[in-house]
Amino acid sequence: MSRLIVVSNRVNVPRGRENDGAQGGLAVALASALKRSGGIWFGWSGKSAPSFSGAVDYRRHGGVATATVDLDERDVEEYYNGYANRTLWPVLHYRIDLADFDREFGKRYEAVNRKMAQTLAPMIDPGDLVWIHDYHFLPMAADLRAEGVANRIGFFLHTPWPPHRLMVALPFHDRLVRTMLAYDLIGFQADEWRESFLHYCERELGGKVDGEWLTVGDRTLRCATFPIGIDATGFAELATGPEARASFTRTRDNVTGRIIVGVDRLDYSKGLIERFNGYRKLLEREEWHSKVSLLQIAPPSRGEVPAYAEIRDQLDKLSGRINGEHARVDWVPIRYVNKGYDRTELAGIFRAAHVGLVTSLRDGMNLVAKEYVAAQDPDDPGVLLLSRFTGAAAQMEEGALIINPHSQIDIAQKLDQALRMGWEERKERWQALFSALNAYDVHHWATEFLDRLRGEAD
């Protein structure tokens, strides 16, 4: 069996069963595939140094070999905080109004990809499969090819891909996308993102599309949809463990009435302002006063990027305004928490919540929606409200209440519907969702992608 080389911006290997609650399902799936193949997980260490030395820190965690490098301080500022998070992220999430088109950011992004490829290339043996992840490394395959790597190389995009008319707002967009033609397989979370990519290649690069196959000039590659799942059974077990049960009890004891939960990074793509305003619309119905609470967990992220500081300030003011308008001595309508929790504690919080609320304005995947479903008590499950603009919506529309996050009225009406929903309908919806999560879990996702990359699946 060929080795697997995984490349991602950050390396996140599960550290053993005792710390399982802090690990995401994606990390577990990739680590499992690496253990089977005896491969390497390569990426940035998360640390900065005065200059890029190319020195590799080799380690072994839980049976998985990792190889990480430090970036220099300018790399971190211009490649990561700059091009990745201030240019690409907003463009990929349809927010060109927030994008910072600094030419130096683009140069540094290309330079870091090139340096990382030069560092990685000597680790790759003939026959190894290379699987590169996310928008940080869009050009990586082309850089590896320049280093003489002829192996099969696949790429999976964790974010949306914007429509053609938005993508062309990115300076040098054609140069960036042409580098992606060096992959053998490109995976997307949803058909919409794949179709947008193929449409761009047809319009801008003169590409020809035949089903999943894209040909540009003399280069042919495959572009397919692989919706990421979670380890649904494992997360369900996590939600019934002693730590999660304690978290469940704390949540139910300390939050008044029926609980609506939202768990998101503090990011403008998550529709948090729209969520608060939709909940505010629900509270216009005084019958819900003191009978429902919104628990919003939003750990800060990317504080160096001005747009993130602005969204945090807006949410602080809005949550305070809503609480000022509606709170009573014994009831606070919004519990707004700016800190993160490990997955074990979150599992208990999800299980305690009567409604899971996801209002993303544009989201490549959204695994929180799936974790909320997996954490529910099968005998008394909650209801999922899910934005139609998430990558997860296509898989979950049968059991979730699909909402338009841009409409305060729709959010309020669907919240009211969920809070009033009877046991039989809740259980029927949950069973449909949980069955779908089990049928296409994160291990199935990884296996299907790698089989396709090897050319073993049609």
Q: Which residues are catalytic?
A: 158, 363
- Counting Cβ atoms within 10 Å, is residue 139 exposed (0-12), middle (13-18) or buried (19+)? buried
Q: How far, rounded to the nearest angstrom, does the alpha carbon of residue 136 sit from its chain's CA centroid? A: 13
Q: How far apart are CA 16 and CA 27, in angstroms?
A: 12
Q: How far apart are CA 389 and CA 122, in angstroms?
A: 41
Beta strands in 334-453 (DSSP E): 334-337, 355-358, 383-387, 401-403
- Counting Cβ atoms within 10 Å, is residue 455 exposed (0-12), middle (13-18) or buried (19+)? exposed
Q: Any idea what the Cα angle at residue 148 is, between residues 139 and 210, rounded to 5°?
A: 55
Report which of 42, 37, 35, 45 is spatially closest to residue 6, judged by C-alpha positions: 42
Which residues neighbour 83 within 8 Å (Cβ) at sequence distance 6 or greater? 102, 105, 106, 108, 109
Following DSSP, what letter does each residue of 335-359 receive, concatenated? EEE-S---HHHHHHHHHH-SEEEE-
Q: Output the six-digit token pair for 350.
A: 């999800």
Report which of 413, 382, 412, 416 is spatially closest to residue 400, judged by C-alpha positions: 382
Distance between terminal CA atoms of the chain? 20
